[in-house]
Structure 1
Amino acid sequence: MKTRATACAALLALAALTGCSSGSDDKPEQPEQPAATVTKTLDTAAARKACVDAWAELLQGDEDLGLEDEPSTCQGLPEDDRIDRYMDGLAQRNQANRDEVQACLDDPACTSVPIP
């Protein structure tokens, strides 16, 4: 009998500690923060891509541009990613130039790229 009483007391204490409800339909509200974070991440990623694209376009027209010439589409993006955005734009510009040269090399009638 003592064992049964001790077991019942332990179960009651455990139920009280774990917050066991008595069957009420009170449900805790779910925070909406994860959805907002996902949206913000997607918006930031899209803004970063637009910035890199703008850098590639600017660098295509003027090779002497530096970080201080950052396009206005980059405003509001994190400052610590600034060099990476510039370098990604530079890489994108370089890839576009390589693709143009390769297309000309593949076309025997092309004369737009000087070949020695």
Structure 2
Amino acid sequence: MHIRRATAAALLALALGTAGCSSQSDGGKPSEPTTAAASPTPTVDEAAARQACVDAVASIEADANGEVPSEPVPDECSSLSQGDYLKAYMDGIQQSNQEGRDALQDLIDEASRSAEANQP
């Protein structure tokens, strides 16, 4: 029971402490509403470089375990930051998987058309 009271008191103190941080210190004038800074829009060159990286990763063959190695980094990805490369890498794998699913669906559709054409 004492643990619950202590936890509740700590949470209350924390809540009051953070509420006090929002006090106005500029003579009572309300502050301007803050807006989140917009993320910079990538330039055409950055977008083209990223897409080239995604395409390069998508063209990497998977190993015997079905894994696509992330190292060595393809030359097309050398201008990207590590975080951007990892995002492009994941998008490249996703693109490769989609291409594989599309190719499989084409084969299924072709087999289905062939089977229908060969029916008496």
- Identify the TM-score tier after normalising by the shorter chain: 0.5 to 0.7
Runs of 4+ in 1 over 4 A off after TM superposition: none
Output the CA distance in 2 between the equivalents of 1:80 and 1:91: 17
Identity of aligned residues (%): 40
Q: How many residues are aligned here?
A: 72
Indicate the structure (1 or 2) with the bigger Cα radius of gyration: 1
What is the aligned-residue RMSD (CA, Å)? 2.4
- Unmatched 5+ residue regions in structure 1? 1-36, 111-116
Return the match for 1:93 from 96, 101, 109. Answer: 96
Structure-1 separation of matches of 2:100 and 2:108: 12
Structure ranking higher in helix proportion: 1
1:26-45 deviations in Å (ceiling 9; x for gaps):
xxxxxxxxxxx98x711000
For residues 1-116 of structure 1, the aligned pairs below 5 Å read 41-59=43-61, 62=63, 63-108=66-111, 109=114
SS of the residue corresponding to residue 60 of structure 2 reads helix
* 1:58 counterpart letter in structure 2: I
TM-score between both structures, scaled by the size of structure 1:
0.54
Gaps of at least 5 residues in structure 2 are 1-39, 116-120
What whole-Å deviation, never above 9, does each CA across 1:77-106 have from its counterpart, x for those lacking one? 122212111110000000000000100111
Q: TM-score, normalised by structure 2?
A: 0.52
Q: C-alpha separation between the residues in 1 aligned to 2:70 and 2:59? A: 14
